[in-house]
Chains A and B, each alone.
Chain A
Amino acid sequence: MNSELLKEVKTPEETASIVYEILKSNGIDVVLTGGSCMEIYTHSNYSSYDLDFIANPSIKSEQVRNAMIEAGFEKTKDRYFKHPDNDYYVEFPTGPVSLGNEEPKVHNELKTHLGSLKLLTPTNCVKDRLCAYLYHDGEECFSQAIAVAHKNEIDKENLLNWAAKECLEMEETVSELFNNLEYLDKVVDNELIKSYLKSKEEKHKVDISGESDFLLLTDDLIDDYIIHELLGVDLGDDVTYYEKMKKLYEELL
């Protein structure tokens, strides 16, 4: 793999694929985990510029370091690798890959125009986001889990079984995720959007019939995947989102 390509690539899958191939050619087996898998599976226009690879436990950190340095990466004074011509920070957290109590052994292999890339399966990526949501208070991660589940084929039974082994809260969270996904299978009209907003009233402690609470919920859902899909607005297009929510309030309530 020509590391010169690192200067030209922009997306997480491209950089991750180059790193994966560099390491593979050095006999180092790694799996991409964490938020970058979500970015890849959702074709997100958002990036945290993080690539977290977990190496096979038999690999010594020195082997990884040597391969990365040889490819032109620099090791920061902490434990991240950064190529001077590439935006991404690459980290190798200690393994094994764990999703709550589960240590998955089966991963997905993507083919990119630059080679291949081993990463969490979409179902495991959903689990990873749900763990971040429930165990680390990552509020935004629930919406990310929904986005991955919506844009990819996931194994619902596997997800349910996993949640049952985690805890009651995780079972409830998975159930909430499935309920939320159902909104995306229906014909969208204002009544459907209203019913989605009403379903959020209890959690957000609001009553959307009042203007103040509607405004509050509008702001609370600024990164909510489902409301953006229902409104037909890209996540991050805040101007259109606010315009449409204002119009919705005037029409509905």
Chain B
Amino acid sequence: MLEVLLGSKNAERVLQFILARNSAYAREIALFYDVSPSVIKKQLEKFEIGNIIVGRDIGNIRIYELNQRNSLIKELTALLLKARSNYEPDERARLVRKDRTRPRSKNKPLIQRRDNI
């Protein structure tokens, strides 16, 4: 919906993902949308240069979040939320539903299914 305004579908995806998860890194976003990490990285760099998002390094991963010090961030967030509310319910739910972050035994498969039992 905002792709025309933001320049591309992946630009919108990047901002929507960061808004939904509070913070994110390139590979995580790329995996979620099943697109090349380099495409996402390019968008992240563009938004970081534009001061829309800010990044910090944790180990060798760069984590991004919305730049709350940007004077337009409130309006941008409202726009993204409105656009998100018009997504198909499945797409919207998938985006906002948090991944499990609790500790889990090493290499234990994480299977989460509904309605098939």
Interface residues, chain A, with chain B CB atoms under 8 Å away: 10-12, 45-50, 77-80, 87, 89, 91, 93, 132, 136-141, 211-212, 215-216, 218-220, 222-223, 236, 238-239, 241-242, 246
Contact = CB atoms under 8 A, between A and B. Distances in A.
Given A45-B114, A215-B82, A219-B92, A78 B101 contact: no
Chain B interface mostly? loop
A132 B101 CA distance: 10
B110 interface: yes
A103 B93 CA distance: 38
Contacts, number: 84
Interface of B: 20, 77-78, 81-82, 84-85, 89-90, 92-93, 96-98, 100-103, 105-117
B110 to A, nearest CB: 7
Chain A interface mostly? mixed
Contact of B81 (A47, A216, A222): A216
Contacts of A239: 89-90
A91 B113 contact: no
A121 B93 CA distance: 32
Contact of A238 (B77, B89, B107): B89
Given A45-B117, A47-B114, 11 more contacts: A46-B112, A47-B111, A49-B109, A49-B111, A89-B109, A136-B102, A137-B101, A140-B100, A218-B85, A223-B97, A239-B89
